[in-house]
Amino acid sequence: MIEFFAKTDIGKVRKENQDAWWAYSDEEHGEFAIVVCDGMGGANAGSIASALAAESFLMHIQECLQAAERVAPDKILRDAVAYANARVFDRAFQDDECQGMGTTLVAVLILGTTVTVVNVGDSRAYLLKPGEELECITNDHSYVAEMVRKGRLTKEQARTHPKRNIITRALGAELYVESDVFPVKLEQGDTLLLCSDGLTNEVSEDELAQFMSGLEAENCCSSLIELALDRGAPDNVTAAVIRVN
């Protein structure tokens, strides 16, 4: 059985919450999906981008799952990202107030025992198995992450680098966007966390693991956000916790 809880908070500094999350669940058919988006853009464009992307992404997922001919989960996710990207891009093109807007996206699709994660940008997915170390499933699409992968920055340097907020992929920035897809082996007792960088910028991975291993989904999610808020939360904070019971 899937237990999940998601929560978003404006944080302590921002005047608007530009994060968004949406979920879809069909217990009868063993289908579940949840998406977290972190928008960017002037005025209220960031919140428009994230909400539009999350809604469009899940809308496409549901249409695919209800279709007579079922396609592979990785194709469902890539096509859903492409659809959401097109919706955000078109809105930015047509609405002067939305020019330049974009959003990250991280999501998980669970179809029975088949679990697949997709991401664009620097919102992350983590997996914690009982008795094992926390695993970051996704790779950030950001300037500092690329520098870390090339060995030009350490993870510690990346956390305080002046260009740490520059992302290299986002929905809505261009007509086409590349997404990364990851198959995940999810078993009883495992916990998944999807989150925006408003959480990971304030809470260490050791702390993430501590909360994920000791609390039920709702308490884990709420406690992680409270910890980020206690540390000043200069950005919006969103977390979604999924546990297999």
Residues 192-241 have pLDDT tens digits of 999 999 999 999 999 999 999 988 999 999 999 999 999 999 999 999 99
Helix (H) or strand (E) segment spanning residue 87? helix 73-94
Token representation of residue 209: 């693991």
How far is the C-alpha of 7 from the C-alpha of 107, rounded, in Å? Answer: 15
Instruction: For residue range 59-103, list pLDDT tens digits in order.
Output: 999 999 998 788 999 999 999 999 999 999 999 999 988 999 999
* DSSP code at position 46: H
- Among residues 130, 132, 77, the alpha carbon closest in space to that of 108 is found at 77
Three-point CA angle 214, 219, 191, nearest 5°: 55
- In this prediction, residue 164 carries a pLDDT of 84
CA 225 from centre of chain: 15
pTM of this structure: 0.95
Token representation of residue 5: 């809880």
- Read off φ and ψ for residue 42, nearest 5 degrees: -70, 170
Three-point CA angle 194, 199, 204, nearest 5°: 100
- In this prediction, residue 43 carries a pLDDT of 58
Query: Measured in Å, how far apart are the chain's first and last C-alpha atoms?
Result: 5
- CA-CA distances (angstroms) from residue 179 to 4, 81, 92, 107? 24, 7, 20, 11
- Among residues 41, 172, 61, the alpha carbon closest in space to that of 116 is found at 61
Environment class of residue 204 by beta-carbon count within 10 Å: exposed (0-12), middle (13-18) or buried (19+)?
Answer: exposed
Residues of the chain above pLDDT 70, percent = 99
Domains defined along the chain, listed by start: 2-137+168-244 (3.60.40.10)
Note whether 39 and 102 are within 8 A (CB). yes
Query: Checking DSSP bridges between strand 124-128 and strand 114-120, what pairing results, if any?
Result: unpaired
- In this prediction, residue 42 carries a pLDDT of 64
> What's the rounded mean pLDDT across residues 109-129?
97
How far is the C-alpha of 245 from the C-alpha of 236, rounded, in Å? Answer: 30
- Read off φ and ψ for residue 135, nearest 5 degrees: -115, 125
